[in-house]
Amino acid sequence: MPALIGYARVSTAGQDLEPQLRALRAAGCSEIFEEKASGTSRARPELARLLDRLGRGDTLVVVRIDRLARSLAHLLQVIERVRETGAHFRSLGDPIDTSGPSGMLVLQIMGAIAQFERALIVERTKAGLASARAQGRVGGNPGLRTRDPVVLGKLAASRERTRLADLLPGADEWLGTVRLLRPTRSWEAVTAAVNERLPPGQRRFTRDRLVRSVRLFVEEGLAEPTLLEGAARRPRRDSKARRAMELAASFLRGRPKASLAEVGAELSRMGVRPRSGEAWALSSVKALLDRARSAGLLGEEHGQRRRRPNHPSYVQ
């Protein structure tokens, strides 16, 4: 059955969630996710859990929209994720309920405002850059232009923190699968398994992105270094050589006195060719039978006649 699922958030541990919880319970929410995190942060594990929990027909309920997001862009992003799931969004203190036409109209107006605001920002940025260039000033970080190692290091660290913040909310969905399969399985197989178990709507991993993500977690002490060890290679099985050995052994068991030349001729007749050339050399047939004997496919009595080495039936 469709459910009303509440989300309550305060910015600091000292603030009280109880007023929001009472309002959400009064609205009929059967389940409430509680979060103590800044509204400007998008790395909110409880919100991520709630979005994964939502099913078709469910409704995400908040007391006010600022409890869900502090920016219009983030709010629209979250609501779009809710709509992709087939669920709805309702704010008790704002005229927004996406299950009805009026709520959708408000969202469309908010989206148009956000798009207009982005266009204004782009225009102002372009005008500012053109004015700076006309006055001989070059924008950007001087350290980046000169490739300062300290500046580049700080930039790389900032990007890693951002990546980590984006990965943490959904880590339970993919890191458990990696721990289950690595390092015994290849990264290609692990990537396929991870993507298969991700909930609908969540961004899929490429092989390289998954490796980078695991490496980042290992560097931060959040995952075991053994996950990055090379997968054990499986021994290569030469099916053609195995088939040739089995056919040669089977023929010799039926005709214990057959010569090497006869064994080679039988293999050729059955369409089994050596790795090089069209005809079987006697030495190749002998090596084949030696391997069959070592594998237990032939007894010591097969092909153990003492002849001179250049005789066609010489085996050992």
* pLDDT value at 307 more than 50: no
More reliable by pLDDT, 292 or 27: 27
Q: What average pLDDT does the segment 181-201 reach? A: 86
Residue 234 has what DSSP assignment? P
Sorted by sequence, the CB contacts under 8 Å of residue 210 that are 6+ apart come out as 174, 178, 187, 190, 191, 194
* pLDDT value at 300 more than 90: no
Residue with tokens 């969905």: 173
Active-site residues, by number, are 11
- Burial string for 222-237 (b: 16+ CB within 10 Å, else e) reads ebeeebeeeeeeeeee
Q: What average pLDDT does the segment 275-300 reach? A: 78
**For position 244, what pLDDT does the model report?**
83
pLDDT interval class at 28 (50, 70, 90) = very high
Q: What average pLDDT does the segment 299-312 reach? A: 50
- Whole-model pTM? 0.39
More reliable by pLDDT, 276 or 87: 87
Whether 20 contacts 67, CB under 8 Å = yes
Burial of 48 (0-12, 13-18, 19+ CB in 10 A): buried
Which of the given ranges, 136-140, 196-200, 207-211, 299-303, has the highest pLDDT on average?
Answer: 207-211
Whether 173 contacts 198, CB under 8 Å = yes
Q: Which of 297, 296, 284 has its CA nearest to residue 246?
A: 297
Burial of 313 (0-12, 13-18, 19+ CB in 10 A): middle
pLDDT interval class at 23 (50, 70, 90) = very high
Q: What average pLDDT does the segment 201-206 reach? A: 82
Q: What percent of the chain is predicted at pLDDT more than 90?
A: 14
Q: Is the peptide bond before 183 cis (omega within 30 degrees of 0)?
A: yes
- pLDDT tens for 34-86 read 998 876 666 788 988 999 999 999 999 999 888 887 777 788 888 888 888 89
**For position 235, what pLDDT does the model report?**
47
pLDDT interval class at 147 (50, 70, 90) = low
More reliable by pLDDT, 204 or 296: 204
pLDDT interval class at 223 (50, 70, 90) = confident
| 40 C-beta neighbours (distance < 10 Å), count | 10
